């Protein structure tokens, strides 16, 4: 008999009527011939209430006691849920994380799962019971209660689905699926039938708040299909799987991070390790940098720009001041009223002209682009916050995201792609280090060249113009980095296949002349090094270790781009093989 995991979030268990409705859904799934495990969150806003209570006592509650407190929210829900199932004439058993045997590390309030025992759950399921598991919690080796971080019930659900080799992990929530963008901002947003793990991860980091990112990383690692659906209706919802909705469309969704602040460190000496000084000072203050743009230097000096959440700006500026002093850099500038707009799609890796379409649409509305970063499947731009909502609507329209793409795969029956029971034979191995960071490997691409357009007037439409010309020639641009305008001028670097260098440089030179820019620079052979993996965002420090080890080896980094599943750096072509060896050695113990 197949096993199914059904997770119900806080809003889906907010009162007794909703708890009974959820219980009925589980009973229905059992009647349909499934073994059913429910994972439930704390009722409504209970976790927030508990946090508020703690804050009334002290500003700095001990983390261990915080977990003791927060875990009670889920304990209330599982007990009530078991009573609800019982009252409807079916058998159920509620279990805390500790009772199941969800063992985590001891990082209170953001613990990671180490292992899960399945015996107790299997036994109860064999007896025909519905198992009701408390989400978000576990226990460390010393039997201290731990929690997995806000929103952690999603991670519990996917983890249980993985170890039980469940055919599906249903996430019942207050929205009826994943949308092409936030429907509250863009009413034309469309529910997608399906989306790939990688796209969902990138969208989550770009600001789409549907699921806990860690739970998606987990699902990807263990090939658990996730079915996001409404707890209040029987709408088909959205499947999150390895496959995208359509292989033909370049973009599957758009997202916005509204409150970003940008900092630019000016005139940084262009030598190995300079960027590291800035990054490590900021990391030491536990601020997470988002967009990072380091552009190729002019005359031995470079500017480094990055964004941080607006609330972290004061802390960040403290760190930046220290770094500027240490480096003898030329000071810094910042702006706290900016927003990040991103488009994501597996298809853009192979189709030309995607960036240009986005830039052109923004230019047509007179929206200026302050920073650009790209990854294989994501393009992000920074714009003034006053334009953010319009920018999001504009790119949504530019990629016709309100319309179903041709050859769309609909939300298939989850059972159709259930992992085979045999795949679970290696259970012991699965249970080891469930949430460890996994690096798939380091790769070296020596096929590209770089062009930098220097001193571009910082006005709307220029990025569009440049990439329009390039796309018109059918050239697929890989990485794009645009730094912030300084004294009204920005630099824009991009990489292209080496055989397209002459043509691209020619186009760039013509354009530069027309715009009154300086002569573009180029590098005929660059080396792009990519580290891909799962968990790179939640395990901070991979990017930092990459930059540090390259700096220690005296290798200068020309361009950087980071994403949810990958970190890319571009170095001089001649340094490629050595940089590869350095990174392989540095990350050796993480590579699977
Ligand atoms: N109750 C926890 C929270 O609100 C866990 C969850 O809902 O997933 O963060
Ligand atoms: Mg919650």
Contact between residue 188 and residue 205 where contact means Cβ atoms under 8 Å apart: no
Which residue do the tokens 């743009």 mark? 293
Residue 28 has pLDDT above 90, yes or no: yes
Given a cut of 90, is residue 545 above it in pLDDT?
no
**In the predicted model, what is the mean pLDDT of residues 40-56?**
96
pLDDT of residue 410: 61
What pLDDT is recorded for position 175? 87
Per-residue confidence at 427, pLDDT binned at 50, 70, 90?
A: very low
Note the pLDDT of residue 252.
Answer: 95
Higher-scoring residue by pLDDT: 232, 342? 342
| pLDDT attached to residue 294 | 75
Q: Report CA(364)–ligand 1 centroid distance (Å).
A: 42
Answer with the residue of higher pLDDT: 422 or 68.
Answer: 68
- Considering the chain, what is the average pLDDT of its residues? 88
Across 284-298, b (16+ Cβ under 10 Å) vs e yields: eeebebbbbbbbbbb
How much distance in Å is there from the Cα of 147 to the middle of ligand 1?
Answer: 9
Q: What is the pLDDT of residues 547-591, one digit of tens each?
A: 888 988 999 888 888 777 788 889 999 999 999 999 999 988 777
CA of 165 to the centre of ligand 2 (A): 25
Tokens of 544: 């930092």
Ligand at minimal distance from the CA of 76 is 1
Q: Give the residue among 9, 34, 41, 78 at the shortest CA–CA distance from 166.
A: 34
pLDDT category at 411 given cuts 50, 70, 90 is: low
Strand pairing of 332-344 and 253-269? antiparallel
User: Phi-psi region for residue 177, left (φ > 0), alpha (ψ -120 to 50) or beta?
Assistant: left
To test the ligand 1 pocket, which listed residue (11, 12, 13, 42) has its Cβ within 8 A of the most ligand atoms?
42
pLDDT at 539: 57
Please report the pLDDT score of residue 428 as a whole number.
40
Q: Which two tokens stand for residue 547?
A: 């930059």
Residue 272 pLDDT > 80 = no
Distance CA 442, CA 223 (A): 22
Give residue ranges with CB within 6 A of ligand 1.
9-10, 41-42, 47, 73, 135-136, 150-153
The CA distance from 268 to 483, in Å, is 14
For residue 233, report the distance from its CA to the centre of ligand 2, in Å.
Answer: 20
Query: In Å, how far are 286, 542, 558, 563 from 549, measured between CA atoms?
Result: 21, 11, 15, 19
* Exposed/middle/buried for residue 496 (C-beta within 10 Å: 0-12, 13-18, 19+): buried
Ligand 1 nearest-atom number relative to CA 152 = 8
| pTM of the full structure | 0.86
452: helix, strand or coil: strand
Closest among 491, 472, 473, 469 to 482, alpha carbons compared: 491
Q: What is the pLDDT of residues 122-161, one digit of tens each?
A: 999 999 999 999 999 999 999 999 999 889 999 999 999 9
Residues 358-385 have a mean pLDDT of 92
Name the band, by pLDDT with cuts 50, 70 and 90, for residue 273: confident
């Amino acid at each position: 008999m197949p096993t199914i995991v059904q997770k119900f979030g806080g809003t889906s268990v907010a009162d007794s009527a909703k708890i009974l409705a959820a219980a009925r859904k589980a009973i229905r799934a059992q009647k349909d011939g499934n073994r059913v495990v429910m994972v439930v969150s704390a009722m409504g806003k209970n976790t927030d209430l508990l946090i508020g209570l703690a804050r009334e006592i002290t500003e700095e509650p001990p983390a261990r006691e915080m977990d003791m407190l927060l875990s009670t929210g889920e304990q209330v829900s599982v007990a009530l849920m078991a009573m609800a199932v019982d009252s409807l004439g079916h058998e159920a058993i509620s279990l805390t994380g500790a009772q199941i045997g969800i063992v985590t590390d001891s990082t209170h309030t953001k613990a990671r799962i180490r292992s899960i025992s399945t015996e107790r759950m299997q036994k109860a399921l064999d007896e025909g019971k519905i198992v009701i598991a408390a989400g978000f919690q576990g226990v460390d080796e010393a039997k201290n209660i731990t929690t997995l971080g806000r929103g952690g019930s999603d991670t519990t659900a996917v983890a249980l689905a993985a170890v039980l080799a469940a055919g599906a992990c249903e996430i019942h929530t207050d929205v009826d699926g994943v949308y092409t963008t936030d429907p509250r901002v863009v009413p034309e947003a469309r529910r997608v039938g399906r989306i790939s793990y990688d796209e969902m991860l990138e969208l989550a980091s770009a600001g789409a708040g549907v699921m806990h990112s860690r739970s998606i990383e987990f699902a990807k690692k263990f090939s658990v299909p996730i079915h996001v659906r409404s707890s209040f209706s029987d709408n088909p919802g959205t499947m999150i799987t390895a496959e995208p909705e359509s292989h033909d469309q370049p973009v599957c969704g758009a997202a916005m991070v509204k409150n970003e602040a940008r900092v630019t460190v000016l005139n940084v000496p262009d030598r190995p390790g300079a960027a590291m000084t800035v990054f490590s000072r900021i990391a030491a203050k536990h601020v997470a940098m988002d967009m990072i743009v380091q552009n190729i230097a002019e005359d031995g000096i470079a500017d480094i720009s990055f964004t941080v959440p607006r609330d972290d700006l004061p802390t960040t500026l403290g760190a930046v001041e220290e770094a500027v002093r240490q480096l003898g850099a030329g000071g810094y500038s910042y702006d706290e009223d900016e927003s990040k707009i991103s488009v994501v799609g597996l298809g853009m890796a192979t189709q030309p002209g995607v960036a240009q379409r986005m830039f052109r649409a923004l230019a047509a509305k007179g929206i200026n682009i302050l920073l650009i970063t790209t990854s294989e499947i994501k393009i992000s731009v920074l714009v003034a916050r006053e334009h953010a909502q319009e920018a999001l609507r504009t790119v949504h329209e530019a990629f016709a995201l309100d319309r179903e793409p041709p050859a769309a795969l609909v939300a298939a029956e989850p059972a159709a792609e259930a992992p085979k029971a045999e795949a679970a034979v290696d259970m012991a191995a699965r249970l080891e280090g469930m949430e460890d960071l996994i690096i798939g490997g380091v790769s070296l691409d020596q096929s590209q060249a770089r062009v930098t357009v220097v001193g571009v007037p910082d006005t709307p439409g220029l990025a569009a113009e440049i990439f329009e010309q390039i796309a018109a020639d059918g050239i697929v641009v890989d990485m794009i980095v645009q730094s912030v305008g300084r004294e009204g001028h920005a630099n824009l670097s991009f990489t292209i296949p080496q055989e397209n260098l002459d043509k691209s440089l020619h186009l760039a030179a013509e354009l530069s002349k027309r715009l009154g820019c300086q002569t573009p620079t180029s590098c005929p052979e660059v080396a792009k090094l990519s580290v891909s993996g799962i968990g790179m965002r939640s395990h901070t420090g991979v990017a930092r270790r990459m930059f540090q080890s390259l700096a220690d080896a005296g290798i200068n980094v020309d361009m950087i781009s980071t994403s949810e599943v990958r970190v890319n750096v571009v170095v001089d072509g001649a340094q490629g093989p050595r940089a590869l060896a350095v990174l392989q050695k540095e990350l050796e113990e993480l590579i699977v």
